[in-house]
Amino acid sequence: MGMMSTGVGIIMMFPTVAANPVGLWSTMALERLPFLHEGTTVHYEGSIDKQGGNADWDWWLYEEDGEWVLFDVDGPGCLCNFVQHRYPTSETPTFRFYFDGEAEPRFELRPEDFGKKAPFLAPLADIYEGPVDNGRGPIWVVRSFVPMPFRKGCKVTSTVKLLGNDKARGEGGWGHVVYHRYPTAEDVETFTGREDFEPLRARLGELQVPPETRLPSTEHTIPPGGRVALLDTEGPSVIRALALQVRDYTPADLAHLWIRMQWDNHAFPDVDLPLGAYFGNLFGNNALRFVVCGMDAKGGFDSRWPMPYWEHARVELVNHGPEARVVLAAVDHEASDAYPQQACGYFRASRYYPETVSVRGHDTVLADVSGRGHIVGGIIRGRSVNGGWASCEGDVRLYIDGIATPQIESDGSESWSCYGWGFPTPPENNPIAGYDGSGPPPCEWSMMRTCLDAVYPFRTGFRFGIEAHGHNDADIAHTGAIFYYGADAPGLVCTDFIDIGEAESEQDHGYATTGSAQVVRVASCYENDEALLVRDTGRAIEAVSEFTVRIRPDNTGVRLRRRADQRYGRQRARVYVDGEPVVERTWYFADRNPHCRWLEDEFEIAEAYTRGKESIRIRMERVNDGASPAWSEFGYWVFTHLPTAPLR
C-alpha cells in the first residue's frame, strides 16, 4: 500500500484490481469506485411491512426443518450487509449461513458474536446498543459489512422465529440483507470464513482517522455572494483528496458555503452542494468521519472520493452567506490514464433537495436521476415540524431503472444507515455510515450512508424516496442528496413487451403453453409509495410457457422484467434461451406479499446466450418447490444491455 504526502496530510493509495471487483475487493478498492458495474444488480430482503405501515419486525420467507429462512437467492452474487435488531432479553437466535446449495451451514453466528468472532470483527461487524429509555430499551442492532460472495446461491436462516417488538414478552424482530447479483460466476469465489480480512480491517480503521493535521497552503477570502476557484485544470487527471479549514467556523457555514464541481466543461455542475451535505453532516453539532469523507466540529473537512476527468475540471467554493469567509484549501490531484473514459463514470451528486415539508400520503423524492452508473452514498436530514417528531420510522425506497417494486428499502430510515431506535444517541459513527442530531424526540437528525459495502448500479436511472413516519402520515421537513458515479447515456433500452392475457400480443410473440395454464385476473397494488389499484389479466403456469421477443444484435446481454402476482412466494422457473438452459441460475423469487400483490422482478441473461441475435425464444419451465402453486406471469418487458458509449 503506497502513500503520498500533500498539503492536507497523508493520503492513502489503493491497490489496482479488476474493474468490477467482487467480494472482499469490492470494499477495499476505493480507487476503483469510478468504474461502472456492468451486469451487477443490487437487491434487498428484510422485514418490510407488506401493507405499507410500520410493522418492521414481522417478516420471514418460510419455515423449513425447524429453521426460519430469512434470505434465499439462487445464482452468483454477494451478501454485502446483514443487520438484525432485537432486545437482548429476547430468545437468542443462531444465524446459519448456507452457500451454493449445501445441506450443512458453512458457519453459524449468534448476536453476541458480531464484532468478536472472526472474521466478523470490528469495524467490519459490531453491535450498536441503544439507550435504556425508561425501561423500554435497550435495543441491539447487530450488523455486518463482511462481504460474502457465492457462486451458486445463498440461504440464511434463524433458529428462532423472529417476531414482534414487545420486550415484556421476550420478542425480537428481524432486520435486513443487502446483496449483489452477478450475471455469471466468473471471478467469484464462494465465501469460506477463512479469508484474510486483516488488511481490510486495518484499511477501514486508518481511513476513518483524520489526515495529518497540517493546514493547507492556499488561503482564500470569499465575500458574500462571491466564489473562488480551488482548482481549474486540464485532464486527463484524477482528484484523490480534498481538504478545507474554515476560519472562525460556525455551524451556519454548513449551509452558507457551497462546493461546486464541474467536469469536462459540462453545461451544469456535476456537484453543487452545501458543505454539510458534501462532507456528510447536515446537522453539524459533532464530528463524523467515514471512509471517504468527514468533518470535525471546528471547521475541518476532508474527502477522498476518487474523481476522474478527461478534459477539464473546475472546483470552487461559493459563499451564500451574509459575511465574508476565510477558507484554507488543498486539492490533491494528478495526471492519470488509469481511468478509461468508456469504463468509468463522473463523480456526481443529485440536485440538492432543499428543506421541504413532506406531503401526506406521498414519499419525499430526494433524487430522480437519468443515465447509467452506481450510487455510492446519500445524505438525508429530517427536522420536526409543528412540534411533531422527526420520525425515523419512514422507509427508504429506491426504484432502479423504472421498476415499480423497490429494489432497496429499509425497515425505518435509521435502518438504512444500519442503526435503530430513532437516532437517539448522536453522534454515532462507523466507517460506512452514521448520524448526528439533537437526540430524543422531537429529534432532528442528519444521516449519512455510504454504499461502499454494496454500490447500487443503475442502467437508465433511479428514483430515491423516503417515507414520513409510518405511512407518510406525519409532517417532517426533509433535505439531502445522493452521491453516484454516472454518465448521461443509458446502458439499457426496452426492445419489446409481451402482454400476457392480451390475445394480439400473445400471437405477435408466438406465445404458447404446455400443461395447465390457468387464466387469472388480479386487482391489487404494488408495495410502493403510490398504492394505486392496478387490474390485469395473466396466467398461472403449472408447466411451461414460451414466447419470442425482439432484442438488438449489438447487445451485451438481456434483462427480462416480469409483472407477477406475488400472493404466493417461492416461485421458480428454469429459463431457456433458444433451447439452451441458462445454467447460472433459475428465476427464483422467494418472498411473497398477500396484501400488495403486484410484483416486478427481473432476470439477467448473460451475453453468451444473446450475442449477435435480433430475437430470442424464451422458455419458462416451472420448477415445483412444493410452495407456490404456479409460476405467475402477466407481462414481460425485454431490455437490451447496450455497449458502453462515450461519456458526456
Residue type, 379: I
Confidence of residue 3 (pLDDT cuts 50, 70, 90): very low
Per-residue pLDDT at 26: 60
Count of C-beta atoms within a 10 Å radius of residue 158: 17
Mean pLDDT of 100-122: 95
CATH code that applies to domain 38-198: 2.60.120
pLDDT in tens, 455-487: 999 999 999 999 988 888 888 999 999 999 999
**178 closest CA partner among 42, 303, 338:** 42
The alpha-helical segments, DSSP class H, found in 498-606 are 503-508
pLDDT at 310 over 80: yes
SS3 of residue 582 by DSSP: coil
**561 closest CA partner among 371, 455, 404:** 404
Rounded Cα gap, residues 352 and 130, in angstroms = 31
Place of cell 484490481: 17
Helix (H) or strand (E) holding 203: helix 198-207
The contacts of residue 191 (CB under 8 Å, 6+ apart) are 23, 79, 99, 106, 147, 148, 149, 150
Per-residue pLDDT at 9: 32
Q: Is the dihedral of CA 306, 309, 310, 315 positive or negative?
A: negative
Q: What are phi and psi of 458, to 5 degrees?
A: -140, 150
Rounded Cα gap, residues 227 and 327, in angstroms = 11
CB-CB contact of 42 with 455 (8 Å): yes
Question: Does 644 or 364 have the greater pLDDT score?
Answer: 364
Angle at 340 between CA 339 and CA 341, to 5 degrees: 105
Mean pLDDT of 623-635: 93
Rounded Cα gap, residues 274 and 268, in angstroms = 16
Cα first-last separation, the chain: 33
Helix (H) or strand (E) holding 610: helix 607-610
Judge if the upstream peptide bond of residue 223 is cis by omega within 30 degrees of 0.
no
What percentage of the chain reaches a pLDDT higher than 70? 94
Q: What are phi and psi of 629, to 5 degrees?
A: -75, -10
- Beta-carbon-side half-sphere exposure of residue 66 (alpha carbons within 13 Å): 2
Q: Do domains 38-198 and 492-641 have the same CATH topology?
A: yes
Rounded Cα gap, residues 84 and 144, in angstroms = 9
pTM for this model (two decimals): 0.95
CB-CB contact of 306 with 313 (8 Å): no
- Beta-carbon-side half-sphere exposure of residue 107 (alpha carbons within 13 Å): 13
Rounded Cα gap, residues 273 and 351, in angstroms = 8
Burial of residue 81, with CB atoms counted within 10 A of its CB: 0-12 exposed, 13-18 middle, 19 or more buried = buried
Domain segments of the chain as ranges: 38-198, 492-641
pLDDT at 206 over 80: no
- Beta-carbon-side half-sphere exposure of residue 78 (alpha carbons within 13 Å): 31
pLDDT in tens, 14-58: 333 344 556 655 656 788 899 999 889 999 999 988 887 777 788
Given the DSSP bridges, would you call strands 312-319 and 257-263 parallel, antiparallel or unpaired? antiparallel
Rounded Cα gap, residues 623 and 643, in angstroms = 33
Q: Is 182 left (phi over 0), alpha (psi -120 to 50) or beta?
A: beta
Domain 492-641 classification at class level: mainly beta
SS3 of residue 30 by DSSP: helix
Q: Enumerate the β-bridge partners of residue 115.
A: 121
